[in-house]
Amino acid sequence: MTLLAIALPENDRRGVIWIPKRRKPVLVGEVKLRFSKILTEVANEKGWIIKCLEIAPDHVHVLVEYGPSTPINSILKAFKGRSSRYLRQEFPHLLKLPTLWTHAYYYDSTGKVSSVIIE
């Protein structure tokens, strides 16, 4: 009898960064709190795990763990899309910007580095 070892794919973990349009410092106070809740809701719905989240007034850092079949652009689309829609509905002063987020983002693999080291 021959036993086959099947390697199951591990979850990917990526650090992603993105900024508001024109790098405006809009992620403060109630906007920052609501934004954090929105990201958590999206991650929970999609089965992703936010390992680390840092929201500065003019940029966002997220360390997210997700399944290997999920492309990184769909994660950013979900995070940026829902947060833009909800935040602009709930906070009218954000409508002064043509869009809430830039199209750009940066991501990098964390490899096997633990979230403790990244924090």
84-111 pLDDT, tens digit each? 999 999 999 999 999 999 999 999 987 6
Q: What is the DSSP string of the chain?
A: --PPP--PPPPEEEEEEE-BGGG-----HHHHHHHHHHHHHHHHHHT-EEEEEEEETTEEEEEEEE-TTS-HHHHHHHHHHHHHHHHHHH-GGGGGSS-SB-S--EEEE-TT--HHHH-
d(CA 26, CA 20): 8
Which pTM value belongs to this model?
A: 0.85
Mean pLDDT for the stretch of residues 53-82: 96
For the segment 2-44, what is each residue's pLDDT rounded down to a tens digit?
Answer: 554 444 467 889 999 999 999 999 999 999 999 999 999 999 9
